Amino acid sequence: MTVEFTAELYSHAIAMEREAADRYAEFAGTMDEQANHAVAALFRMLASLEGRHLEELERRAGGLPLPPLDADHSWPRGEGPETPAHGQLSRAMTQRQALGIALEAEKGARAFFEQAARVAPDADTRALAEEMAAEEAHHAVLIERLLQAL
């Protein structure tokens, strides 16, 4: 059970990071099209951050056979907890609003991993989930610092 839970945790984490990186990149493109270049730059930075985290997770999961999530993508709103919704994007979006969207996404990801840590069947998997929650908390702190700087 432990290996299966760990593999499923990695599979969910990789899916979350991929979705978040893709959505932030998409948001950056939309904001560039709308000539909102400051917000586009923030979303590009967030996409890059998520992309680096994705690469690290894929490297760490290296030899582990990961279950496909296409059969069990059980996110409450149809997308990962770290994926900002399309409806949150607007032409008049400010940097502060963009960072607020990102902050909520990071908090959602942290909550997901905190829950995974609570139900993990063993200490190693619990530590992995706690580490992932801490990474998302770190992302949230970075975003909060950017918000304070505005």
Residue range(s) defining the domain that contains residue 129 = 2-62+89-149
Asked whether the beta carbons of 67 and 7 are under 8 A apart, the reply is yes
Q: Considering the domain boundaries, does residue 103 fall inside one?
A: yes
Residue 116's CATH number = 1.20.1260.10
Q: Considering the domain boundaries, does residue 38 fall inside one?
A: yes
Q: Considering the domain boundaries, does residue 69 fall inside one?
A: no
Q: Nearest 5°: CA angle at 55, between 103 and 71?
A: 80
Q: Considering the domain boundaries, does residue 77 fall inside one?
A: no
Note the pLDDT tens digit of each residue in 15-72.
Answer: 888 888 998 898 888 888 888 888 888 889 889 988 998 999 899 888 878 877 654 4
Q: Considering the domain boundaries, does residue 115 fall inside one?
A: yes
Count up the domains in the chain and report the number.
1
Q: Nearest 5°: CA angle at 89, between 83 and 94?
A: 110
- Nearby residues of 25 by Cβ (< 8 Å), 6 or more positions away: 43, 44, 47
Predicted model pTM = 0.79
**Rounded CA gap, 13 and 30, in Å?**
26
